[in-house]
Amino acid sequence: MRPVADLRGRAVGFRNALALLAILAAGCSASPTPPPSVASPTATPAAAASPGACPVTVGKPGTKPPPQFDKNALPVPWVDTWYGNDAIWVRLPIEGVLPAMPDPGQTTISTKFPWWRVLPGQLTASAVRLDGGGQFSADVRRPDEYGPTGFVPSGLAFDHPGCWRVTGSVQGHTLSFVTRVVVQSQ
């Protein structure tokens, strides 16, 4: 059995090695911090706009929704960080990637996506493909099904995978985020 002091010394050495490795990795991959997203001060694009890149919106860790929403709510497993404004909140897709499944018998791919309304009313969703043309449709549940504010689920359908700006709207207020839609195999 090793003396306790020897084990503590090894633990400190291991932590120092991990810290050095993290610093070196950050130095190799660091790039200038992009400007904040126009949609909300709580997120930034994860990639600079360049050919082939999709400037996905990635939230800031620790961002909390308004107190009336359950901050631990995770209606689907592919969302993570909170992102929102005075009208609408979402949990952004992990690393900006939104998985979608092929729709049986259709030429579209779709996914479930959660929204939270601060303001009362019917939420609508739209989307524009940023890396080419594309068609989009959304099925957002009604206030008479889920109440005038709070959580409301939706089904988002895209005709192509790619880089999309998705926008939710309620009472003339909008929240937009950019995501990379990918086809997930069944």
Kindly report, residue by residue over 100-125, the tens digit of the pLDDT. Answer: 999 999 999 999 999 999 999 999 99
Evaluate if residue 140 carries a pLDDT over 70: yes
Whether residue 50 lies inside any domain: the answer is yes
72 and 93 share one domain:
yes
62 and 133 share one domain:
yes
6 and 95 share one domain:
no
Q: Do residues 181 and 132 lie in contact, with contact meaning Cβ atoms separated by under 8 Å?
A: no
End-to-end CA distance of the chain: 51
pLDDT > 70 fraction of the chain, expressed in percent and rounded: 72
149 and 171 share one domain:
yes
70 and 146 share one domain:
yes
Average the pLDDT over 122-129 and give the result: 98
Whether residue 23 lies inside any domain: the answer is yes
Write out the residue range of the structural domain in which residue 7 sits: 1-30
Of 23-32, 142-151, 164-173, 177-186, the poorest mean pLDDT is in 23-32
Q: Encode 71-109 in three state secondary structure.
A: CCCCCCCCEEEEEECCCEEEEEEHHHEEEEEECCCCCCE
Digit-coded pLDDT (tens) for 63-94: 999 999 999 999 999 999 999 999 999 999 99
64 and 144 share one domain:
yes
Whether residue 37 lies inside any domain: the answer is no
81 and 171 share one domain:
yes
Whether residue 36 lies inside any domain: the answer is no
Evaluate if residue 3 carries a pLDDT over 80: no
91 and 118 share one domain:
yes
Report the alpha-carbon distance of residue 113 to residue 180 in Å, rounded. Answer: 14
Write down the pLDDT at residue 15: 36
Structurally, how many domains does the chain consist of?
2
60 and 147 share one domain:
yes
Whether residue 173 lies inside any domain: the answer is yes
112 and 154 share one domain:
yes
Whether residue 87 lies inside any domain: the answer is yes
Whether residue 8 lies inside any domain: the answer is yes
Q: What is the mean pLDDT of the chain?
A: 80
Whether residue 38 lies inside any domain: the answer is no
99 and 152 share one domain:
yes
CATH number at residue 82: 2.60.40
14 and 104 share one domain:
no
